[in-house]
Amino acid sequence: MGGEQRAVVSARRLTKTFASAGGGRDVLNAVSLDIRAGDFTVIMGASGAGKSTLLYALSGMDRPTAGRVTFAGQDLSGLNESGLARFRRRHAGFVFQQIYLLDNLSLLDNAVVAGLLVTQNKAAIAARALALFERVRLDRDTILKLPSQVSGGEAQRAGIVRALINRPAVLFADEPTGALDQTSGTAVLDVLSAVHRSGQTVVMVTHDLKSARRGNRILFLRDGEVTGDLDLPPYRSRGGEERNARLRAFLDGQGW
């Protein structure tokens, strides 16, 4: 740990403006931040604060109106649309509240197909997929089922495998437990914690205090500006009362 971690994503003066009837208003207002490699960064803030917009700009899913994002050494503004899509497939993993698996493919094949978009080595991809499914605790029977035949929590864990299949530099998650019941949500968070512990950089947007606890850094966004930035010790499943109290106090101070 310490202050010398490498920035894997750097945002400088990111502005995002959507054209609208009443003239544009800035959804992101000159946001500058670094995402450190190895961190589990959580982005919190009220509905409409610009969390998803920020996540999409950081990940190259969408372009800012102004400002610059450097991701894994690449200035994203220097890429055209197909270059950006290729870059994302290789370097970014995404998990959303809605789980976008292909209905007619098994969970396993959903992951393998995503891997084949980046490399043609099918044996290597299948081996990686099986190892990842083990890590998210989905057994052989389950991963041969179609998305419609599994629970929401199982489908989301398959979504995480698909997001990780190309060994992305950063796993981005936007409300990954937002559509799940408590038990399935906790299972998904446990997977994200385990993946982070193994070294994966994670950036997650959430509304939810339980989810936010999984992070070791919390950014608070209000009206398109970062108003709070808290470092925490790594999450542990037991204890951590003092850590929880610090997070609560931080969020209280942000008017959450």
Provide the token pair at 36.
Answer: 């450190």
**Partner residues linked to 34 by β-bridges:** 10
Convert residues 215-244 into a mask of x (bound to ligand ATP by CB under 6 A) and - (unbound): ------------------------------
Residue whose beta carbon is closest to Mg ion? 52
> Which residue number, 116 or 179, has a Cβ lying nearer to ligand ATP?
179
> Which residue number, 51 or 214, has a Cβ lying nearer to ligand ATP?
51
Provide the token pair at 47.
Answer: 């509905």
Which of ligand ATP, Mg ion, none does residue 168 bind to, with CB < 5 to 8 Å depending on kind? none
Number of residues lying near Mg ion (CB under 5 A):
1
Say if strands 170-174 and 201-205 run parallel, antiparallel, or are unpaired.
parallel
Which of Mg ion, ligand ATP, none does residue 106 bind to, with CB < 5 to 8 Å depending on kind? none
Q: Of these, 9, 45, 112, 211, which contacts ligand ATP (CB under 6 A)?
A: 45
Least distance to ligand ATP from the beta carbon of 172, Å? 13
Q: Looking only at residues 46 through 105 of this chain, which bind ligand ATP when binding is defined by CB under 6 A?
A: 47-53
**Partner residues linked to 12 by β-bridges:** 68
Alpha-carbon distance of 154 to 106, in angstroms, equals 12
> Which residue number, 60 or 115, has a Cβ lying nearer to Mg ion?
60
44 lies in the site for ligand ATP, by CB under 6 A: no
Number of residues lying near ligand ATP (CB under 6 A):
10
Alpha-carbon distance of 57 to 69, in angstroms, equals 8
> Which residue number, 5 or 65, has a Cβ lying nearer to ligand ATP?
65
Q: Of these, 9, 11, 14, 27, which contacts ligand ATP (CB under 6 A)?
A: 27
- CA-based nearest residue to 101, from 190, 141, 161: 161
Which of ligand ATP, Mg ion, none does residue 111 bind to, with CB < 5 to 8 Å depending on kind? none
> Which residue number, 52 or 177, has a Cβ lying nearer to Mg ion?
52
> Which residue number, 41 or 52, has a Cβ lying nearer to ligand ATP?
52
* Residues 222, 43 contacting (CB under 8 angstroms): no
Least distance to ligand ATP from the beta carbon of 118, Å? 28
Question: Measuring CA to CA, how many Å separate 216 from each of 40, 54, 61, 123, 226?
Answer: 5, 19, 24, 35, 17
Which of Mg ion, ligand ATP, none does residue 35 bind to, with CB < 5 to 8 Å depending on kind? none
Q: Looking only at residues 44 through 73 of this chain, which bind Mg ion when binding is defined by CB under 5 A?
A: 52
Alpha-carbon distance of 66 to 195, in angstroms, equals 33
Q: Which residues of the shown chain bind Mg ion in the complex (CB under 5 A)? A: 52
Q: Which residues of the shown chain bind ligand ATP in the complex (CB under 6 A)? A: 18, 27, 45, 47-53
